[in-house]
Amino acid sequence: MCYDNKTLKMMQQNKILAHEDNIINAILQNSEPFIYGDQIVISILAQENKSPIGIQLMNYLFDDMKQQNIRTMYISILHKPTLYTKSKQFCTKIGFKQVDEITNIDNTTWGIYKFSF
C-alpha cells in the first residue's frame, strides 16, 4: 500500500494511521511531493526462487512516479524489537537509504528509508 503526500496528510488529520503517528509526522516534514510505501511485502516463495518480481513491481511503481513527476519515496522498516532483515535487504538493494530512526507510541522502533531519482 502506497500513499502520496496529500493522501498521507489527510490520513494523518483523520487519525487513520494513528498507531504510526511518529513515523507519519517525521515523513510529512518533507515538502516535496513523495510516495510513502506503508507495506512492501515479497512472498517467501518469490524470495526462495530468487524471483525478480519484487524488483519488477518496484520498477513499475518508480516509472509511474516519474510520470507523475514524483521523485521521492519513503518507507519504514521495523528495527526493534525485531529487525525486519529481509525487508531491509530488499529495499537497500534497490537503492533506499536510511535517513532516520523513529520510536512510535507503541515503543517499536522504525527505520525511515528514502529513495530518490
Residue keyed to cell 519504514 = 76
Show the cell assigned to 19.
498507531
Residue keyed to cell 537509504 = 97
CATH of region 2-116 = 3.40.630.30
Give the pLDDT band of residue 69 (cuts 50, 70, 90): very high
b/e burial code for range 88-113 (CB count within 10 A of at least 16 → b): bebbeeeebeeeeebebeeebebbbb
The confidence score (pLDDT) of residue 41 equals 62
The DSSP code sequence of 27-48 is HTT--S--EEES-----HHHHH
The distance in angstroms from the start CA to the end CA of the chain is: 20
Q: What is the mean pLDDT of residues 35-60?
A: 73
The CA distance from 43 to 41, in Å, is 6
pTM (2 decimals)?
Answer: 0.86
